[in-house]
Structures are given as C-alpha cells and as structure tokens.
C-alpha cells in the first residue's frame, strides 16, 4: 500500500528498484547483502512490515523477524553501501496515555507485541552505527492497493444496516500519498542542509479524530459519490465493548513540528486527504 505510493510519487530524477517477496526477503541477511550490493542504491525505503496487530500477539517470532531483524539487516547494508535508509514505524511504540501530541523524544512504552517489534526495528537502526537514516512514525495509514480502515468501512456499510465503531481511541489518519511525499521532502531537504536532519520524525495528516468520527466521514463521502449503502446507523462504542487480542493506544496524535521545520512543508488536514483519496478511487 505504501510502496506503491512511494513508487508513484517519485519524480523523474529517481530510478526505483521494487523488491518484494519471494525474491527478496529482508529477514535473510545474506540475501539482503547480495541484492543490495548488486543494485548499489543511494536510498533504501523500507515499506515492509508485519502489520497484523492482533495476529502478532500469537506469532511474535515472525513479527520480530520482519519488524526487528529486517530493519537491522537493511541498516547494516545501508551503512556498508553509504546509502540513506528510510524506515516506517508506528504510533504503537507509545503507551497512548498522553493527552497532548506525542513528540519524537517522548518515552516509548509499547503495549503490544506489534509495538514492541516495531520498536525493536527502530532500536536496531539506531544501534547499527548508520548515520544517514530517517525513521518516520506514522498512524492510521490508508491508501490504494491494500487493506485499510476506509475500505473496510465502505464494505461494511454496503452489507450492514448498523455499524458499531470505537469512539474512545483518538488519532490521526494518514494518506499514503501524503506520507510518500513526506519521505521525498526529507530526502531532498537533507543534502541541502548544513547539518542534515537525519533521525526520528513523526508524520500523519493534520487534525485528530476517533475511529467513530473517521467512519462517519467515510460513509458521508461514500454517499456523496453515489455509493449504494445499506447502513442506517453508526453507533459509537467503547474499546471494552469490542475486545481484541492486542491493546491499542487510546491517544496517538503526533506533533509534526520537527518534520515541518526540517522539510519546510505543510501537511494536509485529514478530511482534505480523505476527500482526495475518494476522488482518486472514483
């Protein structure tokens, strides 16, 4: 989902090499070294992750290999090749107990296997000795080409008369196209800076909402596009009414001040980006 957006957002000055399973397995360090040595990239963008949050609770070994060992292998290869590594991380590295936007330097305290394995990937990069890297933490990602909350809500709205959506988890949706553009903004800004702004950044669309408010907006836009929906009611519920194996952050809104200062860029508000997504899928 994100990799396709990165590919599509790349300008004319970029030569993109797309690597995927089964030919390229980033958990296989020898294969990583072999393939990347052959390509000799200047930039490595890691869009791969084990993202099934609930399945990770019972499949920690695989989640750790993908989310922890994989980034470590890429970081060591990037260091050896003199390449810049861009790695995507998550709001799940935090405990979700804050009530004001999270800063990059806030203490991490993941509450799920997924969060712990993603944090392991961050730490592997930080401990690798690699100097040229960007770790972008993001949240509530959606976009073309993959399973996401927007498409799930549209599908359910065509099948059911009533939807029950969690209203006490607050975050910021992120459109893959906006995140891809943010990646290129950082990559093109860093070489021009007197002190290249490598490090950890937070990125999501501006504003915040609950999953319930997000669902309401999705259904509203689908109706505007003329979708034949069955749904009549969207009910707000509490997290405890919809128990899942993995604990979710109650609050995961990011401060994007660091990104905006480094990239010199503005960030679209989440409703605006959602409208753009609907226009693109029409």
**Residues designated as active site:** 114
Q: Where are the alpha helices (DSSP H) in the chain?
A: 2-9, 29-39, 60-64, 70-81, 113-127, 149-159, 176-189, 211-224, 257-263, 270-281
CA distances from 256 to 37, 44, 239, 259, 265 (A): 35, 23, 27, 5, 10
Do residues 253 and 106 touch, judged by C-beta distance below 8 A?
no
Tell me whether strands 84-90 and 43-46 are parallel, antiparallel or unpaired: parallel
d(CA 14, CA 237): 46
Alpha carbon of 182 to those of 4, 92, 154, 262, 265: distances in Å? Answer: 14, 20, 27, 11, 8
Nearest alpha-carbon partner for 163 in 152, 147, 171? 152
Could you give the 3-state DSSP secondary structure of residue 202?
strand
Cβ atoms within 10 A of the Cβ of 192, count? Answer: 8
Spatial strand order of the sheet with 199-202 comes to 43-46, 84-90, 133-138, 199-202
């Amino acid at each position: 989902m994100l990799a396709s957006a990165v590919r599509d957002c790349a300008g004319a000055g970029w030569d993109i090499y797309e690597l995927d399973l089964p030919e390229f397995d980033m958990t296989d360090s020898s294969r990583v070294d072999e393939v990347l040595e052959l390509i000799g990239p200047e930039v490595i963008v890691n869009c791969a992750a084990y993202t099934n949050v609930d399945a990770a609770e019972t499949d920690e070994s695989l989640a750790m290999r993908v989310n922890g060992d994989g980034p470590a292998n890429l970081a060591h290869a990037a260091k050896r090749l003199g390449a810049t590594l861009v790695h995507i991380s998550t709001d799940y590295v935090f405990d979700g107990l804050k009530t004001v936007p999270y800063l990059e330097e806030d203490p991490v305290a993941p509450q799920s296997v997924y969060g712990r394995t993603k944090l392991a990937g961050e730490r592997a990069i930080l401990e690798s000795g690699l100097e040229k890297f960007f770790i972008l933490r993001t949240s509530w990602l959606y976009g073309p080409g993959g399973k996401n909350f927007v498409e799930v809500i549209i599908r359910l709205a065509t099948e059911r008369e009533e939807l029950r959506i969690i209203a006490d988890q607050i975050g910021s949706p992120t459109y893959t196209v906006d995140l891809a553009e943010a990646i290129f903004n950082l990559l093109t800004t860093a070489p021009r800076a007197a002190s290249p702004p490598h490090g950890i950044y937070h990125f999501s669309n501006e504003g915040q909402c609950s999953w319930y408010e997000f669902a309401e907006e999705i259904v509203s836009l689908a109706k505007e596009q003329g979708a034949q929906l069955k749904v009549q009611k969207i009910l707000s519920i509490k997290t405890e009414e919809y128990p899942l194996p993995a604990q979710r952050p109650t609050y995961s809104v990011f401060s994007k001040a660091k990104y905006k200062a480094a990239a010199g860029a503005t960030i679209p508000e989440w409703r605006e980006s959602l409208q753009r997504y609907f226009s693109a899928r029409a």
